[in-house]
Structure 1
Amino acid sequence: MDHPVAARGGMTPQILVVDDDPLILEQLETLLAGQTYRITTAGDAAQALQNLSEREFTLAVVDMKIPGSDGIALTREIRERWPSVDVVMITGYGSIRGAVEAMKHGASDYITKPFEPEEILLAIQKVLERRRLIDEIEYLRKQLSDRYTFGNMVTRNPAMIEVFSTIEMLAQNDVTVLVCGESGTGKELVARAIHFQGKRRAGRFVAINCAALPEPLLESELFGFERGAFTGALQDRVGKIELANGGTLFLDEVESIPLAMQVKLLRVLQDRAIEKLGGNKIVLVDMRVVAATNRDLAALVASGQLREDFYYRINVVPVQLPPLRERLEDIALLVADFLRNNLLAREKGINRLSERALAQLMGHSWPGNVRELLNVLERAVLRAKGDTVREVDIPGEISSPNSRRSGADYQAPLREFLRRAEREYLNHVLARYHGGIGPSARHAMVDQATLHRKIKAHGLHAGEFRANGRTEGGGRPA
């Protein structure tokens, strides 16, 4: 029988109780139903093995004497076939020696009949705490080996890992780079990583948003001016390009540069030389240029809004950043990174994200990408009480059940659209079942081998979702 018990938070421990005595089963059901456990009972070894093959369990409570087997043999089989399932042995008949033998074959603890309620609760709690610590150690070990960082960016997404590899290569030379991606994907972070990981890191990183200034002001900001160059020019001023000498110039929203100014910048890119407004002296500059855009620059060239020669000068090496909706496996990682580094979260002692809150974040399309996610987390931390960000703390606009669909790219080829949809589906199902292959396969109505193959094909890892499922109950978001 299956007895769902409402969880008070986190991933509810799944406990299998195996005993042929109906009175013992009833006693344990009544006792454990008052805790945050989900209980399944079995009257013999065959039923127990059937239950174990159909769903994931955290722990099995096994009587020493059961029909069709004995507790030691069943314990040995459980530990061989399902090594993540702990076993607590119940022994009577003065058979302490048998319980010790069971522990040699993998049982974590034992209790003797007759037992007090507190005894079995304490034994279960000790085993679960031990398992939590083992899982935490494994999680931290995996974090060290499977977490990819570059600059202030973190990822497990294959496309972003490829971006990191490209950045590492680009950082070692001075080639001009064009960073492409939707708003909020982290284009400036990529530009900063290229600068600070490269040989120019001792120089300045000078950024300018080309869309934020009108044409006359943009020109003076970029090139600088001499006193008297125009009304109000009371003293000489060094421009952004000259400030970047020896370092990196970052041109954000480069498509916004007016056509006339593109000609002047073309000379800078070709000759590494500038002339200040109102001046007649050539100033040589030695700098790296990184540009960024969220537009299709080739289309702007075709429409006459961007000079073709300028386009080819800035598009020497393009770096394409994927939107957040295509790297959903990074959400838990980004959340954990945010909670570790956000001042308010640290002041309030917030270090967890509930599984429902995570599922809510995973279900959003994130048109504003990582920037939008960080904004949502800022507001959620402000509203959160206790040490956990819960579903109720997530801003209302994230809760729309149709929000994911709004991010669909209907301009993509059908094959690519279906690939992205399948990846999002797998992310959602694995998050829902905490990485459990069995329940996820049943939900998807495919066999486990097929599910494993699809998970591997999309570069996902079921273990990451098991880590995510522990967040409400005291673990860390992955």
Structure 2
Amino acid sequence: MTDILVVDDQISFCDHIKVILETEGYEVDSANEVDSALKMLSQKKYEILLTDYRLGPIDGIELFKKARQLDDDISGVMMTAYASIDSAIQSIKDGFNDYIQKPFEPDILLISIKRIIRERKMAQEIRLLRKEVIERYSFHNIVGKHKLMQNVFELINKVSGHDARVMITGETGVGKELVAKAIHYNSRRKDFPFVGINCAGLTESLLESELFGYEKGAFTGADKTKKGKFEYADGGTLFLDEVGDISSTMQIKLLRVLQENKFERVGGNKTIDANVRIISATNQELDEKIKKGDFRVELYYRLNIFPIKIPALRDRIEDIPILTNHFINKFNKKYKKSVEGVSTKVMKAMMHHSWPGNVRELENLIEREFVTIENNKIEHIDLSGTFIHNTNKSIYDVDVDLPFKIAKSLVVNRFEKAYLKKLLKGCMGNVNEAARKSKINPRTLWRKIQAFNLELKEFSSDE
């Protein structure tokens, strides 16, 4: 129900307006003088103030200003028989939503009120959506108690209040975009767009068109003018993911924008201001690319003003339990389940997994279990679908599409599993004998056996 306050020094006019609006189902109060109106505004929340321009001691514009001091969300409609362009412009400048000249037909008033209600509803939805987005990307959604993550939080907090360009580094799946959004939604640009683009896999011409946009007729198929990411992000943040994959030609073009804060659309001559904050991310070692001449050092220094390195999950295994609980809570809501946690055996296995896919791998693994779980606790976990337990690969098979450290860890883990299986088979499942023979600490050996989900009964006989 919409509450409306009508203010006019003519009692008969107020009564007339009140009847029109109440017939349409609105809740309407009226006042014939400023003091009464202010008292009513202080005692009750109104969505719309419908006021005459000339009220006596103060005019309708001053009344609306005072109403806004009491409630900055109230909407206003100015009514006056003294219509002029100047007063109309002034009322709009002072925050009124509409301006109606007396005398007016009831339909004119109703159309104005209905439009304002639609605008208020849309504004409320936008506020709720923005609040939801800000809460989603606040610090508490980047989970981690390890000192390495606490350092990341501290860096996010420091840089969010400034416009310095940020370079986020870390392996695939550590949450680089989540950190970028946390910086944006905790900055003064949070009410403006966050626009992201993955630079990997895009051809040079396509990336240029996506970043800068293009004019109609710029190339075959350009049948209309199109804005680019820089324009869509105006006032906000542009997130360049996998920036290390940008071609040398595009590096030069991007460098020019960073130096001059200006650009032109493809096929255009008009210079456009680039009022955006740049946050970039990469999982590559840019130092090595610079040495090879594949990445321009001046672009690197333009982008890497404030570096943030996100640690791999295997470097903060203490965070696995709280991350697991975080994702369980998330998927309980998504799938409308009431999973309470994971068993001790499952947690041990996860604590000894190397997580080449990092937090994203853990999240996907938990969600996969939610699809098939039938009770309120995850008692088993299938790590066979992860990189490490791919039995179709030989020990020394490598995937050069992965970063060196991850590829190396996969080979090491495949080797360890193969070594332990052969060792335990030779010792008929006797862990103490296997530890003595391999010179591995028994406690370490037990941890590795649990991590690889090896069942000792499989090695207890020669059958």
8 Å contact 1:344–1:381 — kept in the other structure?
Answer: no
For residue 394 of structure 1, the aligned residue among 382, 388, 393 is: 382
State the alpha-carbon separation in 2 of the partners of residues 155 and 379 from structure 1: 22
Q: List per-residue Cα deviations over 1:342-380 (Å, max 9, x = no partner).
A: 257642322311111111111110011011111111111
The CA deviation at 1:389 is: 0.9
Q: CA deviation at 1:279?
A: 0.5
1:181-227 Cα offsets, whole Å, 9 max, x none, are 00001100110000001111001000000003111111100000010
1:72 match: none
Larger radius of gyration: 2
Residue 377 in structure 1 maps to residue 366 in structure 2 = yes
What residue number does 2:153 align with? 164
Task: Work out the CA distance in 1 between the residues paired with 2:265 and 2:182.
Answer: 29
1:106-158 CA deviation, whole Å, 9 max, x = no partner? xxxxxxxxxxxxxxxxxxxxxxxxxxxxxxxxxxxxxxxxxxx7152111110
1:409 deviates by: 6.0
Matching residue of 1:275? 264
Among candidates 306, 322, 326, match of residue 311 of structure 2: 322
Q: Does the Cα contact within 8 Å between 2:251 and 2:299 map onto a contact in 1? A: yes
- 1:157 and 1:313 map into 2 onto residues whose CA distance is 30
Conservation of the 8 A alpha-carbon contact between 1:211 and 1:253: yes
User: Aligned partner of 1:332: which letter?
Assistant: P
* RCO comparison, higher one (Cα < 8 Å, 6+): 1
1:260 aligns with 2:249: yes
CA offsets per residue over residues 299-344 of structure 1, 9 Å max, x none?
1011010111111111111111110001111111111111111257
Q: 1:184 aligns with which of 163, 173, 186?
A: 173
Q: Distance in 1 between matches of 2:364 and 2:343?
A: 18
1:394 CA displacement: 2.9
Which residue number in structure 2 is paired with residue 226 of structure 1? 215
Residue deviations 1:7-30 (CA, integer Å, cap 9, x gap): xxxxxxxxxxxxxxxxxxxxxxxx
Q: Does 2:298 align with 1:309? A: yes
Q: Aligned with 1:208: secondary structure? A: strand
Check 1:400–1:232 CA distance in 2 against 1; reply closer, same or farther (3 A cut). closer
Q: Secondary structure at the match of 1:304?
A: coil
RMSD: 2.9
- 1:450-461 equivalent positions in 2, closer than 5 A: none
Report the AA paired with residue 159 of structure 2. L
Note if 1:359 corresponds to 2:348: yes
Amino acid at match of 2:262: A
Which one-letter code corresponds to 1:394 in the other structure? D
1:245/1:287 contact within 8 Å kept: yes
Structure 2's unaligned 5+ residue stretches are: 1-137, 397-402, 409-440, 445-463
Q: Secondary structure at the match of 2:206?
A: helix
**Structure 1 alignment gaps of length 5 or more:** 1-148, 413-441, 446-478
Superposition pairs for residues 208-227 of structure 1, below 5 Å? 208-227=197-216
Deviations 1:221-265 (Å, cap 9, x if unpaired)? Answer: 000001011111111111001111100000000011111111111
SS of 2:301's partner is helix
Offset of residue 411 of structure 1: 12
Q: Which amino acid aligns with 1:357?
A: V
CA contact (8 A) 1:254 1:291 kept: yes
With the length of structure 1 as denominator, give the TM-score of the two structures.
Answer: 0.52
Distance 1:172 1:195 in 2: 9
Task: Indicate the residue corresponding to 1:202 in structure 2.
Answer: 191
Amino acid at match of 1:335: T
User: Per-residue deviation at 1:285?
Assistant: 1.6
What aligned pairs does 1:36-435 form with structure 2 within 5 A after superposition?
150=139, 152-342=141-331, 346-391=335-380, 393-397=381-385
Distance in 1 between the 2:196 and 2:291 partners? 28
Secondary structure at 2:202's aligned position in 1? coil
CA contact (8 A) 1:325 1:365 kept: yes
Distance, in Å, in 2 between the alignment partners of 1:277 and 1:408 is 37
Structure 1 residue 444: deviation in Å? 6.7
How many angstroms apart in 2 are the aligned matches of 1:285 and 1:273?
A: 5
Contact 1:207 1:251 in 2 (8 A): yes
Instruction: Provide the identity percentage.
Output: 42
Secondary structure of 1:322's aligned partner: coil
334 and 295 in structure 1: CA distance in 2 versus 1, 3 angstrom threshold: same
Matches of 2:164 and 2:443 in 1, distance apart?
Answer: 47
Runs of 4+ in 1 over 3 A off after TM superposition: 343-346, 397-403, 405-412, 442-445
TM-score (norm 2): 0.54
Q: 1:395 to 1:273 in 2, by over 3 A?
A: same
Q: Which amino acid is 2:162 matched to?
A: N
**Amino acid of the structure 2 residue aligned with 1:167:** I
Distance in 2 separating the partners of 1:399 and 1:271: 45
Q: Tell me by how many angstroms 1:397 deviates.
A: 4.1
| Matched AA of 1:307 | R
Return the alpha-carbon distance in structure 2 between the equivalents of residues 155 and 410 of structure 1.
21
Work out the CA distance in 2 between the residues paired with 1:279 and 1:400.
50
